[in-house]
Amino acid sequence: MRLAVIGGGLIGLSCAWRCAQRGFDVTVYEPDPGRSAGLVAAGMLAPTGETRFGEEPLRALMTESARRWPAFAADLQAASGFDIGYRSEGALLVALTDDDLGELRRLFDYYDRIEPLTGRELREREPMLSPRVRGGAYAPGDRQVDPRKVLTALRGLVRVEQRRVEDPAGLDADLVVIAAGSGTAALTGLPVRPVKGQLLRLRAPSAPIRHVIRGYANNRPIYVVPRADGELVVGATEEERGEDRTVTAGGVLDLLRPAADLLPGIAEFALTETLAGLRPGTPDNAPIIGRLAGGALVATGHYRNGVLLAPVTADAIAELAATGRTSENLAAFEPKRFA
């Protein structure tokens, strides 16, 4: 069967790859590969830290996808011959002030495994942390991957045609998968909107920290994700600005200030890149995965969790394409909830 995937971001490419493994003849249509939200993502695989009370179905889906990431990463690296930067050192949850610590502790109950730590114990694990840090915890189950490397690996495994699709029905395919991020709204009418996120990349002479740092500094949430080559990814803002991708001085300040409060030494590192991307958001902050009334499949609206949810989304779409059903519990994520 000929299968067309509209959207060459991380979700679209993952779905295309898994469908190709099922024997489909797959073509991915992407007008601008350089604008994928995955190019801006930090790549944290932290299902607990990204959900809140009342989002139990989403947390369950994210936990299941996190469980699949080790096998997904190994399979992708073996198929592509490309290292995708999968790391499993865990994360440190860090609070600068007593108020920040109170906010942070509200998250502890959501974790299956958490090890509370004092400020001194945190600094023993990461000496670069500020002596002002009050406390936090170690989350051993958190992981990370480099989304840019994942995109490179996936692009080498599927056929990508660089052109815009205005009408899915006009494609020469037996089945269409729409995974166009916030662009899905124009193709389907689904309520998917762009949510702007600004992010920074710094460069140190060598890797200055081992763990992902997630925390609060004077009530400002921040994360710092280390790469093995000395790069640090600092993020991320969350702005309702439509299609605007402008990097602003205020956005940079909102990221650098809390990051430097927690890790003062980063002020000496080179600022190598400032960028902004558009996350696909939905009214309930949950993805849209399933079959549309016209027969096409859709995978979009992953918001802040596109990297984390890639394995479970791709497996669900591949199963739907091959058999018309799926073993995943997608009831809370089907497009018909927005009918």
**Do 54 and 202 have their domain in common?**
no
How many other C-beta atoms can be found within 10 angstroms of the C-beta atom of residue 225? 25
Q: In this structure, are 265 and 131 located in the same domain?
A: yes
Confidence of residue 39 (pLDDT cuts 50, 70, 90): confident
Q: Do both 20 and 56 map to the same domain?
A: yes
Residue 98, domain extent? 91-140+195-279
Both 97 and 226 in one domain: the answer is yes
Residues 317 and 185 in one domain: yes
pTM of the model: 0.96
Same domain (yes/no): 133, 171: no
263, 279, 295 - which closes a domain: 279
Single residue among 243, 263, 279 that ends a domain in this structure = 279
Is there a contact between 224 and 128 (Cβ–Cβ < 8 Å)?
Answer: no
Per-residue model confidence as pLDDT tens digits over 217-275: 999 999 999 999 999 999 999 999 999 999 999 999 999 999 999 999 999 999 999 99
pLDDT of residue 80: 97
Nearest CA to 40 out of 197, 254, 155 is that of 197
Structure confidence at residue 50 (pLDDT): 66
pLDDT in tens, 71-81: 999 999 999 99
Domain count along the chain = 2
Residue 149 maps to which CATH number?
A: 3.50.50.60
Whether residues 50 and 30 share a domain: the answer is yes
For the stretch 86-137, pLDDT in tens is: 999 999 999 999 999 999 998 888 887 899 999 999 999 999 999 999 999 9
Phi, psi (degrees; rounded to nearest 5) at 265 = -65, -15
Residues 218, 96: contact at Cβ < 8 Å? yes
